[in-house]
Amino acid sequence: MLFRSFQGSRLEDAVTRETGLLAEVGVRSQSLVARAEVESGPLELGGFFVDRVGTPEQFPLGEEPPHYPAGGVDAYFTRDLARGGVRLWVDGVLGASWYEHLAKAPDDRDAVFATVRLLGAWRAGGARRGAFYVEPYARLGWLDPDLDVEADAAFEEALGVHVGAWERARVGLELGVSDALRNFPSAYAVEPWIGRRSALLQAGVAF
């Protein structure tokens, strides 16, 4: 079991969404996180709970900030084969959010969001550390910012490949697309995200 806390922030500018640390508030200025993991052979299971500090609006100095609970589970599976291996990640999160959907009438309840991500990869080569390998993968993501609102989900799909020396160095190329249903709020994303087409080139080295 792992416990952590993180300094929360307060909204300083509602237009730019600029925030600052909650230095003037005590213990409840922290976002608290608890996580547990268990491993059984090629499968690793985890679960977590987080009590997040939120900044839905500006509030007076010294006032206790609002908190929004969320929880999730994740699983990681990996198996080495004679000439490669397979890997699979999946995680899901459900929780309260300060966000109120633009298409929904304001009420006294926090919006409840849900998100799921899935990533699968197959590897050719890499039988030992430093051996050459090629690993194509696919990634899927789904987000519903408010379960009370219909047709507001967003989706993300990506295909990519890693090439390099197993657990030593790699170069990767990923092509991705994102889209959303008609009621997804444009204000939910900090940057233009809906309908985006992307190409990501990355490199990594392990010492």
Q: Is 29 helix (H, G, I), strand (E, B) or coil?
A: helix
Tell me how far apart the alpha carbons of residues 40 and 48 are, in angstroms, rounded to a whole number.
18
What is the pLDDT, as a whole number, of residue 75? 98
126 and 176 belong to one structural domain = yes
pLDDT of residue 15: 61
Q: In what order do the strands lie in the sheet with 197-205?
A: 2-7, 30-40, 43-53, 67-81, 84-97, 111-125, 132-144, 154-165, 169-180, 197-205
Average pLDDT, the chain: 85
Q: Mapping DSSP to helix (H, G, I), strand (E, B) and coil, where does residue 27 land? A: helix
- What pLDDT sits at residue 113? 93
Together in a domain, 23 and 114: no
pLDDT at 137: 98
Residues 155 and 187 occupy one common structural domain: yes
Distance CA 128, CA 151 (A): 47
Largest CA distance in the chain: 62
- Residues 124, 26 share a domain: no
CA distances from 43 to 40, 74, 78 (A): 5, 11, 7
Q: What is the pLDDT of residue 29?
A: 72
150 shares a domain with 203: yes
Whether the predicted pLDDT of 114 surpasses 90: yes
Number of folded domains in the chain?
2
36-45, 59-68, 98-107, 135-144: segment of lowest average pLDDT? 98-107
Element (H, E) at 55: none
What is the extent of the structural domain holding 28?
1-65
Closest CA to 44 of 88, 86, 14: 88
Question: What are 3's two structure tokens?
Answer: 């416990």
Query: How much is the pLDDT for 14?
Result: 61
Same domain, 97 and 197: yes
Domain identity same for 124 and 53: no
Residue 29 and residue 119 in one domain: no
